[in-house]
Amino acid sequence: MNREQAALADQIRGSQIHAMEANVWKSLVGYLVAASLGMAVAYQDWSGLLNVWGPAVFLACIARILLALHTAMRPVRPRSERSEQYLMVATTGLSIVMAVGPAWIALRSDGLVSATMITLIVSSMWGGAIVQAPLFSASASYTGVNIPVWLLSLSMTTITWDRVFLSLLFVATVVVALDNIYRYAKNFERGQRQQIDLVAQSARLEQQTEVIGLLLKDHEDQSSDWLWQVDANGLIRNPSSRFAEALSANQGALNGQALAALLSEPDIAGNTQALAVLTDHIATSRSFRDLIIPGSNGDTHRWWSISGRPTLNENGLVVGYRGVMADVTAAKQAQAQVIHLAHHDALTGLANRAYFHERTNALLKSADSCSFGLISIDLDGFKPVNDRYGHPVGDELLIAASRRLSDVVGGRGLVGRLGGDEFAVVINISQPGEMDAFCARLVKALAQPFEITDHGITIGASIGVAFAPADGRTTEMLFKNADAALYRAKRDGRGTYRFFAPEMDHHLQERMVLLQDLRDALPRKEFELHYQPFVDANTGDVTGCEALIRWNHPLRGQISPADFIPLAEESGMIVQIGAWVMATACAEAATWPGDRRVSVNISPAQFADRELPAHILEALVAAGLSPHRLEVEVTEAVLIEDAELALDILRRINALGVKIALDDFGTGYSSLSYLRNFPFDKVKIDRSFVTEIESRRDSQVIIQGIHDIALGLGMTVTAEGVETLGQVAELRKSGCHELQGFLFSKPQRASEVPDLFTLGRWSETSLQSAVG
């Protein structure tokens, strides 16, 4: 038992002892009167015994009465277990003295004397048991000791059946008495515990009331909440300074005004409805909590939260209301912001994907949505900008693009950002002609240069359009078809828009199947490399080969690179495929004789990986191929998307000892500027010039010019697409260093490459005869 429990037990024991002692003296006085009468009845026959027992019991009772009065006249106080033990001894001794005389006489007498003594002992036992019942230990010892006293007296006389029967009745009476006093004692103890709990609760309540009062006063002085009180007529009484301050009113003027009228502002949305609820609660005497009432404080829109409950008089009648009010404007604004963020993109403020889909779905289900347009938009060239300038600039570009979209759309529709550089517009346009003009405005707006943190940035947009319900009666179908049209716009050169047509869905489905097959092609080892040779224009020697990837599809057969390379670039798989091409080409070239080199094409998408030079070095080391035997070919597209990043990566590749070739030279508008900015090792003349070199003078002049520029910059020139001897003659005349084309060889499997290296297969004599 811990200290707190022990203290509680002492307190309960003190109450039990005090309650017992308050009644013991009364019981003993009554007993002395009854004992005197009993002695008078039995004195003639038992004078000797009574002359001894009478004074003894009188003195014992007087002593016990004095002890009881001493305790009863003092306040209740905690009592220890030792006090309880002393009382047990005192009550046991008194009970023995009180019982021994009557028991002895009752068992040895007949008639009136015996009945009187039995009555005296039983009445004293029951009376003492009842008055001492609050303390069970004392009452039980007082009552229970009567049994051994009676049995002892019985044992010292002649035992007869009537005395035995009488004894059994007496014992049963004692047992019943003990059971009753036990129940009473438990009920008394339980009552004392409840009383102590009530006292403790009352003390705590009083303390809490005091604390609450202090807190309410402090709350009024320091917080944004305030107390309010109205009478039975709903008129404000005793308004606090905080109440007046919150409503920008004079404190004295508020007294006596109607609360509902004071808060009434019909011009503010929701105010009238909220006040109707407030008035209804007050009229029906119901409590209310956190009722939100929109209002104002001067020119500032506010929200008040009001709670209250009726106040009752001593008769239980409602005499008014009191409660608390608070300014919850900040919480309401935060709640509105949370709702806004749940429906809008955090960066641009446009509708997010979930909300945009929700609104589109609602339009499809509404009765007035006969037809509308869904526009899917991707920003062209955003990723290179994000990679080059970093995410902060990329984010600013997205914000600026979203503003332009919103400006063009205006109030006619909803603009959403679906993620990354993907946007969408749902707009009330159902006529293709009107939609055509609108999409042209979108493309034009997004094609204008952006000024982002002192950077002039130009991007574009590809747009796909689907009409509801003609192109889809569900949100999923409508978006799917708009995306199919968007994909067609990208395939057709980007920076344009396309309307959905049914065949697009078929193409899109085929594309998705092909994309899945493409993902499985590398682990299934369906790719292989073919090699097309470079031939020295003067000697006819094969100086190296260009590695060209081929896809052997298990069902479709061989798929052209023109069909799957763009898909690999769009999906990002070109990075994995490109790494495989590089590793395989280096490993197979390592088996070629001499210093013959291998040329590998690098996709623009691979330049997004700044670790590209490291991956190339890993392939060279793994294959044991000397860096000067590797040549990488890049197109002008690599440099157009992000020239600075691409040039930095090219310089790092070149620093490894790897040669760099500019492929398809002459087809771009800024090829010459790239030759000046980066020292390429070789330029490859596009096949479009080679094809017409025999028939067009301008092609001859262009090729001659390219040769002269390359020669001046220390670069070699390779002409690709050579198919006739006449082209060989003209190209050799123009000074081209290397030739490549079907005239010499189609791309060959790796196992057939050694045959291409046979010395003299394309001899100088055969080339000269072609010229002659």
Over the stretch 659-669, which tens digit does the pLDDT of each residue have?
Answer: 999 887 766 54
Q: Last residue of a domain, which of 334, 357, 375? A: 334
The answer as to whether 213 is a domain residue is no
Give the C-alpha distances (Å, rounded to integers) separating 369 from 362, 423, 464, 468: 9, 22, 20, 8
Last residue of a domain, one of 280, 307, 334: 334
3-state secondary structure of 454: coil
Query: Do 556 and 568 form a contact (C-beta atoms < 8 A)?
Result: no
CA distances from 752 to 536, 558, 739, 745, 747 (A): 20, 18, 20, 11, 10
pLDDT 10s digits, 66-113? 888 888 888 878 888 888 788 888 888 888 888 888 888 887 888 888
Whether the per-residue pLDDT at 734 is higher than 60: the answer is yes
Is the pLDDT at 214 greater than 50? The verdict is: no
Give residue for tokens 């690999």.
568
Chain segment 21-57, per-residue pLDDT in tens:
787 878 888 888 888 888 888 888 888 888 888 898 8
Residue 47: C-alpha distances to residues 44, 51, 97, 154, 476 (Å): 6, 6, 17, 21, 118
- 233-276: per-residue pLDDT in tens? 888 888 877 777 777 777 777 788 888 777 888 888 888 888 88
Q: Does the residue 208 lie in any domain?
A: no
Say how far apart CA 251 and CA 241 lie, in whole Å: 6
Specify the CATH number for the domain of residue 421. Answer: 3.30.70.270
- Indicate if 673 and 748 belong to the same structural domain: yes
Cis upstream peptide for 469 (omega within 30°): yes
Q: Are residues 488 and 620 in the same domain?
A: no
Residues 134 and 50 grouped into a single domain: yes
Residue 563: pLDDT band with limits 50, 70, 90: confident
* Total number of domains constituting the chain: 4
Looking at the structure, tell me whether residues 286 and 356 fall in a common domain. no
Looking at the DSSP assignment, which residues form a beta bridge with residue 535? Answer: 542, 739
DSSP letters of 12-38? HHHHHHHHHHHHHHHHHHHHHHHHHHH
**Number of Cβ atoms within 10 Å of the Cβ of 24:** 28
pLDDT over 90, % of the chain: 22
Integer Cα distance of 582 and 609 in angstroms: 15
Dihedral of CA atoms 285, 291, 292, 294 in degrees, nearest 10, equals: 0
Query: For the chain, first and last CA: distance in Å?
Result: 123
Asked if residue 472 and residue 547 are part of one domain, the reply reads no
Q: Which of 664, 734, 737 is nearest to 699 (CA)?
A: 734
- Max CA pair span of the chain: 178
Same domain, 679 and 624: yes
Helix pair angle (329-343, 353-365), 10° resolution:
80
Same domain membership, residue 353 and residue 324:
no
* Confidence (pLDDT) at 601: 94
Shared-domain flag, residues 87 and 147: yes
Residue 603 lies in a domain: yes
The residue range of the domain holding 391 is 344-500
Radius of gyration of the chain (CA): 55
